[in-house]
């Protein structure tokens, strides 16, 4: 099966000696630093992968991160936005303050592969016991940033400036009834004292070949809001539907009609938009028409005006469709999460593009179209200039269509991609701070 072949490729790539893999264009001493720390980074990543934790519950992960940063002599703050960890590395010379960010949380997904470090962890999500898996690669992000922190701490006296290492919880969204993630970290002052001048982050991409980097100035990822539609009907016996108001039939019609929000109400020549219903729940048995049906879904847009149109049309369609059947609806937008567009500052992107090209080789760095995925890194980049990019995590030679996607049970990344991730973060940090590349 594809996921088993993929897992074997990951292990094989990790087993290759350093000399067998592509040489980095970084200066030789920095390259050697990456190669030296890489085995530990892989070890950390596998430990996090084996022991994933859901949003706002990253207690073990945060403890390991905090201990590591303290061992490097950093000023460490824990418990930020529940479980976040901040490490401050002050260079030996004055200069700007930058931030490097990694997200820590996993997802309620059951892992389905043969990796020896696969997760068998359980957690609680919406009141239910669920399987937990790092199905989006945040384990690699944490491990990479820990490795970068170790390398930069070793060059502390040469740094002209200060680096904040932000290990963020709940990127995937806080549990119902809670707050968290980048938005709460910003509110709690993570970008202040000392004040951050620029913020950088990356994401591993399991469908982008190892050694490659994708970037885009301005909007690189969509804004997102989740929504809930409750369809209120009237319960009846399944044999006499005329005695009730069927919320299941009404919900089916609403879902069909919602397809016109994008196809008929959105100016797709301007920007993309997505409306997806991801869950529908109602009823308890075959011969009872239930009283209520719940639908939840996600909205993705790149334009403020289009977002307003999409929200309005969802409400109108749900309300009018329900009314035509004698039912009524309650519409919540957002239900819980709302992230703005992930925006890369154009001037910062242009300034740091040579750094990314040096990390992966100019031919391996590509300008790409925006993605309809979303990221709460956007809250950091709304406060200060930010740059966010994608790093390849798919084995060389594999076809994109054969690589399992993110947020799925078969998701796997090639750990060789973490080397490019560390190199890109190091290049960006050192170049922004003006060198320290001896």
**What digits encode the pLDDT tens for the residues 387-397?**
999 999 999 99
User: Which domain-ending residue is among 279, 304, 332?
Assistant: 332
* Residues 255 and 355 grouped into a single domain: no
* Residues 83 and 177 grouped into a single domain: yes
HSE of 191, CA atoms in CB hemisphere, 13 A: 21
In whole angstroms, give the CA distance from residue 24 to residue 30: 9
* Residues 202 and 301 grouped into a single domain: no
**What digits encode the pLDDT tens for the residues 113-130?**
999 999 999 999 989 999
* Residues 356 and 403 grouped into a single domain: yes
Q: Is the pLDDT of residue 414 over 60?
A: yes
* Residues 34 and 126 grouped into a single domain: yes
Write down how long the chain is.
438
In a domain, 198, yes or no: yes
> With the C-alpha atoms ordered 61, 410, 377, 427, is the resulting torsion angle positive or negative?
positive
In whole angstroms, give the CA distance from residue 64 to residue 280: 39
The radius of gyration of the chain's CA atoms, rounded to the nearest angstrom, is 23
In whole angstroms, give the CA distance from residue 19 to residue 38: 13
Mean pLDDT of 259-288: 95
* Residues 299 and 385 grouped into a single domain: no
Domain that holds residue 285: 223-332
In whole angstroms, give the CA distance from residue 212 to residue 93: 33
* Residues 167 and 288 grouped into a single domain: no
**Amino acid 12: pLDDT:** 39
In whole angstroms, give the CA distance from residue 246 to residue 234: 7
In a domain, 215, yes or no: yes
**With a threshold of 0.95, does the pTM exceed it?**
no
Q: Is the pLDDT of residue 19 over 70?
A: no
User: Which domain-ending residue is among 311, 332, 353?
Assistant: 332
In a domain, 438, yes or no: no
For strands 93-103 and 160-168, give the pairing.
parallel
In whole angstroms, give the CA distance from residue 52 to residue 414: 18
* Residues 120 and 174 grouped into a single domain: yes
Burial of 176 (0-12, 13-18, 19+ CB in 10 A): exposed
The CATH number for 136's domain is 3.40.630.10
Residue 209's DSSP bridge partners are 394
Does the bond joining 194 to the residue before it have cis omega, within 30 degrees of 0? yes
Give the confidence band of 28 by pLDDT, cuts at 50, 70, 90.
low
* Residues 366 and 405 grouped into a single domain: yes
In whole angstroms, give the CA distance from residue 79 to residue 11: 35
Q: Which of 388, 424, 428 is nearest to 219 (CA)?
A: 388
Residue 297's DSSP bridge partners are 227, 277
**Amino acid 7: pLDDT:** 39
Give the confidence band of 30 by pLDDT, cuts at 50, 70, 90.
confident
**Amino acid 11: pLDDT:** 42
The per-residue b/e assignment along 98-124, b for 16 or more CB within 10 angstroms, e otherwise, is: bbbbbbbbbbbbebbbebeebbebebe
User: Which domain-ending residue is among 303, 332, 361?
Assistant: 332
In whole angstroms, give the CA distance from residue 343 to residue 424: 19
**What digits encode the pLDDT tens for the residues 324-381?**
999 999 999 999 889 999 999 999 999 999 999 999 999 999 999 999 999 999 999 9
Q: Which residue has the tokens 């049970």?
A: 409
Catalytic center residues: 339, 415
* Residues 200 and 294 grouped into a single domain: no
Q: Is the pLDDT of residue 437 over 50?
A: no
Mean pLDDT of 184-190: 98
Q: Copy the structure tokens of residue 241.
A: 């539907």
In a domain, 46, yes or no: yes
* Residues 72 and 194 grouped into a single domain: yes
Give the confidence band of 149 by pLDDT, cuts at 50, 70, 90.
very high
How many domains does the chain fold into?
2
Q: Is the pLDDT of residue 27 over 90?
A: no
Q: Is the pLDDT of residue 15 over 70?
A: no
The CATH number for 283's domain is 3.30.70.360
In a domain, 437, yes or no: no
Residue 279's DSSP bridge partners are 296
* Residues 66 and 207 grouped into a single domain: yes
In a domain, 325, yes or no: yes
Distance of CA 345 to the CA centre of its chain: 19
In a domain, 95, yes or no: yes
């Amino acid at each position: 099966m594809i996921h088993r072949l993929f897992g074997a490729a990951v292990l094989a790539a990790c087993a290759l000696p350093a000399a067998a893999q592509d040489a980095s264009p970084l200066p030789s001493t920095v390259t050697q630093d990456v190669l030296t720390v890489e085995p530990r980074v892989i070890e950390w990543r596998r430990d996090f992968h084996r022991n994933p934790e859901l949003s706002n519950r990253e207690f073990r992960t945060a403890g390991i991160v905090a201990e590591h940063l303290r061992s490097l002599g950093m000023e460490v703050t824990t418990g930020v936005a529940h479980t976040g960890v901040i490490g401050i590395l002050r260079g030996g010379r004055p200069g700007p303050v930058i931030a490097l960010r990694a997200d820590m949380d996993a997802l309620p997904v059951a892992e389905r592969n043969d990796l020896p470090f696969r997760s068998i962890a359980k957690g609680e999500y919406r009141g239910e016991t669920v399987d937990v898996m790092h199905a989006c690669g945040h384990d690699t992000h944490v491990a990479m940033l820990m490795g970068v922190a170790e390398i930069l701490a070793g060059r502390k006296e040469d740094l002209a400036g200060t680096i904040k290492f932000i290990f963020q919880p709940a990127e995937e969204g806080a549990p119902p009834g809670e707050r968290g993630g980048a938005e709460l970290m910003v509110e709690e002052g993570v970008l202040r004292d000392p004040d951050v001048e620029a913020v950088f982050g990356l994401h591993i991409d399991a469908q982008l070949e190892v050694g490659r980097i994708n970037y885009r100035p301005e909007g690189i990822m969509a804004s997102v809001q989740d929504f809930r539609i409750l369809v209120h009907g009237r319960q009846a016996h399944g044999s006499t539907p005329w005695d009730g108001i069927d919320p299941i039939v009404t919900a089916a019609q609403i879902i069909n009609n919602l397809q016109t929000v994008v196809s008929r109400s959105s100016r797709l020549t301007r920007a993309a938009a997505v409306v997806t219903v991801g869950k529908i729940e109602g009823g308890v048995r075959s011969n009872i028409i239930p009283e209520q049906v719940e639908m939840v879904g996600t909205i993705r847009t790149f334009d403020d005006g289009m977002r307003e149109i999409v929200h309005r049309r969802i409400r109108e369609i749900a309300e009018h469709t329900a009314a035509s059947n004698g039912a009524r609806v309650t519409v919540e937008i957002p239900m819980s999460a709302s992230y703005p567009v992930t925006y890369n500052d154009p001037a910062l992107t242009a300034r740091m593009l040579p750094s990314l090209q040096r990390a992966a080789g100019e031919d391996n760095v590509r300008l790409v179209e925006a993605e309809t995925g979303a990221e709460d890194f956007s809250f950091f980049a709304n406060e200060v200039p930010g740059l966010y990019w994608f790093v390849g995590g798919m084995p060389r030679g594999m076809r994109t269509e054969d690589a399992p996607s993110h947020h799925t049970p078969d998701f796997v990344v090639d750990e060789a991609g973490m080397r490019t991730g560390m190199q890109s973060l190091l290049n960006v940090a050192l170049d922004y701070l003006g060198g320290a590349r001896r």
